[in-house]
């Protein structure tokens, strides 16, 4: 029999923990799902909700039949006892109206009001709050009252990528469940299944850069950034290139791709990580046990230029890799993107010329 978890290949330990809690009757009423964006927190919460609402759930299993009088409306998005709270399009915050209604309906609408009403079917209501860290103070305080005294049969799941922005009182009322990054092979499979890459080689590189996030992987695979990344790596593979000119070109293209400073900084960070992975791959290629087939194609050039002087190659590549790491630190310290790239490109291009002088 097909399982609703067949296409959910990660976080098995979280699923097992919930199954044990259900078997022992130890489900709490408030959970905080925390972890990087794009690792499956919301999907897990949604599947869990369907399982708990299903009337035909097999004993001892965390499953849903997909056919019963609860599963059908759930899958259609019309289940009266499943409540989903999202930010409005274009909004950066979850406002108080989401929880207790707008001024005209204050206390007669919103999530807290809906949870106070008895379930329409079965014995429970389940609410999922996406991007919980974006609640403003008024919204958080409104939800806090419900978390302190949750209605009978209510199960509330908050989903957050950052814990720092959540009120300590909110966190203390919830059982935190940690979701780690996805394995590279899962991200790789996603990229190829969605036809976001043109080769397995590209999928492996993007998976390594994505930090285990499908959202990040999808962003990295966008044509504009993909072309920028390819041009950047092609530049690094050349024996001689102009650092200042390259930095100016990168900065200009990043400004066009990113809608704001935060997005531009993230794009720059990905470029720095791509450079670091490029040099790291070249280092792996210098290992005596590594075959040419295992080496990234655009890094092989680094190895061939050294004519067997492995120690010198290792020293230089290690130096270049360290310089990329320093640039990442500078970017996190809010050094301007332009200055960061100018300094990095100058150093990389200058040191790379050592190869051609040997």
Where does the pLDDT of residue 355 fall: very low under 50, low under 70, confident under 90, or very high at 90 and above? low
Residue 298 has pLDDT above 80, yes or no: no
For the segment 180-192, the average pLDDT, to the nearest whole number, is 92
Does 217 reside within a domain? no
For the segment 293-315, the average pLDDT, to the nearest whole number, is 58
Q: Are 311 and 243 in a shared domain?
A: yes
The confidence score (pLDDT) of residue 104 equals 85
Indicate the burial class of 129 (C-beta count within 10 angstroms; 0-12, 13-18, 19 or more).
buried
Q: Are 329 and 239 in a shared domain?
A: yes
The confidence score (pLDDT) of residue 308 equals 57
| Phi and psi based region of residue 40 (left: phi greater than 0; alpha: psi -120 to 50; beta: remaining) | left
Q: Are 166 and 292 in a shared domain?
A: no
The confidence score (pLDDT) of residue 92 equals 84
**Token pair in block for residue 214:** 């499908």
Q: In terms of DSSP H, where are the helices of the chain?
A: 12-23, 41-53, 71-76, 97-100, 111-116, 137-148, 168-172, 184-193, 200-209, 214-220, 223-236, 243-257, 261-285, 300-304, 310-332, 337-357
Which of 178, 206, 241 marks a domain boundary? 178
User: What residues are paired with 175 via a beta bridge?
Assistant: 31
Where does the pLDDT of residue 34 fall: very low under 50, low under 70, confident under 90, or very high at 90 and above? very high
> Residue 49: which of 60, 64, 29, 34 has the closest Cα?
64
CB 129 within 8 Å of CB 157 = yes
Where does the pLDDT of residue 290 fall: very low under 50, low under 70, confident under 90, or very high at 90 and above? very low
**Half-sphere exposure (CA, 13 Å, Cβ side) for 37?**
10
DSSP labels for 87-121?
PPTT-SSB-THHHH--GGGTTSSSHHHHHHSPPSS
Query: Between 86 and 165, where is the model more confident?
Result: 86
Residue 126 CA, distance from chain mean position: 24
**Token pair in block for residue 127:** 């609410």
Which of 145, 178, 211 marks a domain boundary? 178
Number of domains composing the chain: 2
Q: What is the pTM of this model?
A: 0.75
Q: How does the average pLDDT of the chain come out, rounded?
A: 88
Q: Are 20 and 151 in a shared domain?
A: yes
Q: Is 45 helix (H, G, I), strand (E, B) or coil?
A: helix
Where does the pLDDT of residue 312 fall: very low under 50, low under 70, confident under 90, or very high at 90 and above? confident
Where does the pLDDT of residue 295 fall: very low under 50, low under 70, confident under 90, or very high at 90 and above? very low
| Domain span holding position 346 | 222-357
For the segment 316-322, the average pLDDT, to the nearest whole number, is 88
DSSP 122: S
Q: Are 28 and 145 in a shared domain?
A: yes
Q: Are 60 and 150 in a shared domain?
A: yes
**Residue 46: φ, ψ to 5°:** -65, -45
| Strand-strand pairing, 154-160 and 125-129 | parallel
**Token pair in block for residue 246:** 């390259």
Does 210 reside within a domain? no
Does 156 reside within a domain? yes
Q: Are 322 and 248 in a shared domain?
A: yes
Ranges 31-40, 194-203, 288-297, most confident: 31-40
Which of 157, 178, 199 marks a domain boundary? 178
Where does the pLDDT of residue 358 fall: very low under 50, low under 70, confident under 90, or very high at 90 and above? low
CATH code of the domain covering residue 128: 3.40.50.300
For the segment 199-206, the average pLDDT, to the nearest whole number, is 85
CB 131 within 8 Å of CB 158 = no
């Amino acid at each position: 029999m097909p399982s609703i978890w067949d296409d959910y290949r990660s976080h098995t330990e979280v699923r097992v923990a919930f199954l044990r809690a259900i078997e022992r009757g130890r489900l709490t009423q408030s959970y905080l799902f925390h972890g990087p964006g794009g690792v499956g927190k919301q999907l897990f919460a949604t599947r869990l909700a369907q399982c708990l609402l299903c009337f035909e759930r097999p004993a001892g299993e965390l499953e849903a039949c997909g056919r019963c009088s609860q599963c059908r409306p759930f899958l259609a998005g019309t289940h009266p006892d499943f409540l989903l709270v999202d930010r409005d399009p274009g909004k950066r915050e979850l406002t108080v109206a989401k929880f207790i209604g707008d001024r005209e309906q204050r206390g007669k609408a919103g999530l807290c009001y809906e949870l106070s009403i008895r379930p329409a079917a079965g014995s429970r209501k389940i609410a999922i709050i996406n991007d919980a860290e974006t609640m403003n103070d008024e919204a958080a305080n409104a939800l806090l009252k419900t978390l302190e005294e949750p209605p009978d049969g209510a199960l509330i799941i908050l989903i957050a990528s950052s814990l720092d922005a959540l009120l300590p009182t909110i966190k203390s009322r919830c059982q935190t469940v940690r979701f780690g990054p996805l394995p590279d092979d899962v991200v790789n499979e996603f990229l190829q299944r969605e036809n976001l890459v043109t080769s397995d080689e590209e999928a492996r590189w993007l998976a390594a850069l994505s930090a285990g996030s499908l959202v990040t992987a999808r962003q990295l695979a966008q044509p504009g950034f993909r072309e920028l990344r390819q041009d950047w790596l092609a530049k690094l593979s050349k024996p001689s290139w102009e650092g200042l000119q390259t930095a100016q070109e990168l900065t200009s293209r990043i400004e066009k791709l990113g809608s704001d400073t935060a997005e531009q900084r993230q794009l720059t960070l990905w470029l720095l990580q791509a450079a670091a992975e490029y040099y790291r791959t070249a280092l792996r290629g210098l290992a005596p046990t590594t075959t040419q087939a295992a080496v990234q194609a655009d890094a092989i050039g680094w190895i061939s230029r050294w004519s067997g002087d492995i120690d010198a190659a290792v020293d230089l590549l290690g130096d270049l890799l360290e310089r990329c790491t320093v640039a990442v630190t500078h970017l996190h310290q809010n050094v301007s993107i332009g200055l960061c790239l100018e300094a990095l490109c100058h150093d990389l291009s200058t040191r790379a010329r050592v190869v051609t002088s040997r």
